Homo-oligomer: A and B are copies of this chain.
Amino acid sequence: METKILLPEREMPTRWYNALPDLPTPLAPPLDPQTHKPLTPDQLEPIFPKAVIEQELSPKNWIDIPEPVLDIYRLYRPTPLIRAKRLEEALGVKCRIYYKNESVSPAGSHKPNTAIPQVYYNKIEGVKRIATETGAGQWGTALSFACGMFGLSCTVYMVKVSYNQKPYRRSLIQAYGGEVFASPSDKTRTGQAMLEKDPDCAGSLGLAISEAVEDAATHDDTKYSLGSVLNHVLLHQTICGLETEKQLAMIGEKPDYLVGCVGGGSNFAGLFLPFLPRRLAGEKVRFIAIEPKACPTLTRGDFRYDYGDVARLTPLIKMHTLGHSFMPAPIHAGGLRYHGDAPLLCNLVAEGLVEAEAYHQLECFDAAKLFLRTEGFLPAPETSHAIKGAIETAKRAKPGEVVVFLYSGHGLLDLASYDAYLGGKLTNFEYPEEHITEALKACPVIEE
């Protein structure tokens, strides 16, 4: 048995899998934030290219990956599926654990899987510049990388607290050619208004989204790009699961559990969605979403319509939410600090097809440390949640069962978090019921 299952490049999938037509219950449509009527595609055109809007709503099961996208994918794809034998031995489990290693991409995470096609579709529609927000920095890095590959300009609004705390992330975005502004910035009316009110404002993801959307909406040559949550993003990420399916088949394995961490949900959905048809056909395979206890969207949130951002600028989407004004504690897995989740993922959670578990950050760092000292690689704090989930799943699994988890990114630009962890400076966060009940009151009341 080989440690690394390498899919030959010629076997790389050339189509993405679109789960929309296969959902047992159709997805609730996004609503106009003012009128509460279903959104029409043309309402999205000021900020997204047409091809992306079409994919967002597509009824087709398979969508061809354009050749120029495949060409950039080949810089790092197919990614390896790795048997975590030393981790299994350390745990003393009799099941087999595999991880799909998306940290090998140039940007260090799964994010380029969607950044590359999004930039490509913008390019062929004549867009010259793309604006986006970034919190932890993974998404900004991926978009800047992809823009560089296709010769587009890239503007990243980076939450000011991250901008100051993670100078290396900012440097990497700049090395790829992107421009980075600390948000709130003086580049948008939203940012200016906030700075006038509070010059020391540390920023938030919701605010950075508002700045990027305003930038795109007010410049003809510029569009906006989002790195998670939306259907087309999950679609692009299915290449992870499609490769995993082929890699498991190469060694005659079938997955019993697919595990991933969830912020907006794109990496986990990318892994498990291609296995959804099997599950719907009655095959025994479980999908387990892992989230932080400090932001327990799937495990403690309500499944209802809510805004995607703090400033209520986005369409209303039906999802598990903690309320759009919920401010998660400053845990180190910045990429998992989102009050909602991808509607497609939430739909399947509501159907009982996806299970969810929440863990504390300290036990996740413990899992990351065990992984580092057995498998050798340093996981991102977000990824540490997937590792913790996989470990707990493996402990419960029967001998011979197969646990597969998605290793979403490396932690080489998160070493300050490891310093804090190893130095005993991290604490756990968990909210009393009243806190969540109170936050949920901010959700709009929509008649369905």
Contacts and interface: CB of A to CB of B under 8 A. Distances in A.
Interface in A1-24: 2-4, 6, 8-10
Nearest to A106: B376
A147 B124 CA distance: 51
A378 B174 CA distance: 12
A108 interface: yes
A376 B149 contact: yes
Contact of A75 (B76, B369, B375): B375
B75 A376 contact: yes
Nearest to A3: B74
Looking at A148, A167, A373, A415, the one whose CB has the most chain B CB atoms below 10 A away is A415
A431 interface: no
Contact of A175 (B75, B369, B375): B369
A62 interface: no
Secondary structure call for the A interface:
helix
Given A4-B74, A413-B412, A373 B177 contact: yes
Nearest to A151: B373
A414 to B, nearest CB: 9
Interface string A363-380: 000000100110111100
Contact of A419 (B86, B171, B373, B412): B171
B2 A10 contact: yes
A415 B9 contact: no
A142 to B, nearest CB: 11
Nearest to A374: B149
Contacts of A168: 168, 412, 415-416
Contact of A416 (B148, B171, B375, B412): B171
A372 B415 contact: no
Range of interface residues on chain A? 35 or more
Nearest to A76: B376
B372 A175 contact: yes
A365 to B, nearest CB: 10
A416 B166 CA distance: 12
A377 B141 CA distance: 12
A381 to B, nearest CB: 12
A415 B2 contact: no
A412 B166 CA distance: 13
A76 to B, nearest CB: 7
Interface of A: 2-4, 6, 8-10, 72, 74-76, 86, 104, 106, 108, 145, 148-149, 167-168, 171-172, 174-177, 369, 372-373, 375-378, 412-413, 415-416, 418-419, 422
22 contacts: A2-B9, A3-B74, A4-B74, A6-B9, A75-B86, A75-B377, A106-B375, A106-B378, A108-B412, A145-B376, A148-B372, A149-B373, A167-B415, A167-B419, A168-B168, A168-B412, A168-B415, A171-B422, A174-B419, A175-B372, A175-B418, A413-B415
